[in-house]
Amino acid sequence: MKRLTALLLCLTLLCAVPLCAGATQEEEEEETLAFSIPAAIERLPDETLMGFFTDSVFVGDSISQRFRTYTKDRRVEEPGFLSNAKFLVTQSYLLFVASKNYVSKVSSNLTYQGQEMSLCMIMGKMKPKRVFILLGVNDYIGEKLDKAEEYVTRTVSLIHKYSPDTQIYFQSLTPVTRTFCKRKDYRTMWDQYNVLLKGLSETNDFTYIEIAQGLKDDEGYLPEALAMDKEYHLNNAGVEIWVSELLDFAQSQYEQGLWAPKV
Instruction: Please identify, using beta-carbon distances, which residue of 43 and 72 lies nearer to another protein.
Output: 72
How many positions of this chain bind another protein (CB under 8 A)?
A: 26
Compute CA distances 15 → 2, 9, 133, 245, whole Å.
20, 10, 73, 63
Interface with another protein, residue 207, by CB under 8 A: no
Q: Length of the chain in residues, anyone?
A: 263
**91 part of the interface to another protein, by CB under 8 A:** yes
CB atoms within 10 A of CB 48: 15
Task: Kindly indicate which of the ranges 155-163, 169-177, 184-192, 232-240 contains the residues binding another protein, using the contact rule CB under 8 A.
Answer: 232-240
* Residue 161 in contact with another protein, rule: CB under 8 A: no
Stretch that binds another protein, among 38-46, 107-115, 127-135, 153-161 (CB under 8 A): 107-115
Q: Is residue 79 within the footprint of another protein (CB under 8 A)?
A: no
CA 44 to chain CA centroid, Å, is 15
Is 69 a binding residue for another protein by CB under 8 A? The answer is yes
Least Cβ distance, residue 106 to another protein (angstroms): 9
CA nearest to 93, candidates 153, 139, 128, 140:
139
Q: Please give the helix or strand (H or E) that residue 207 lies within, else none.
A: strand 207-209
Q: Is 229 helix (H, G, I), strand (E, B) or coil?
A: coil
Nearest to 82 by CA among 128, 118, 50: 50
253 lies in the site for another protein, by CB under 8 A: no
Nearest one of 223, 250, 238 to 46, comparing CA atoms? 250
Nearer to another protein by Cβ, of 112 and 259: the residue is 112
Contact positions vs another protein (CB under 8 A): 62, 65-66, 69, 72-73, 76, 86, 90-92, 108-109, 111-116, 138, 228-229, 231, 233-235
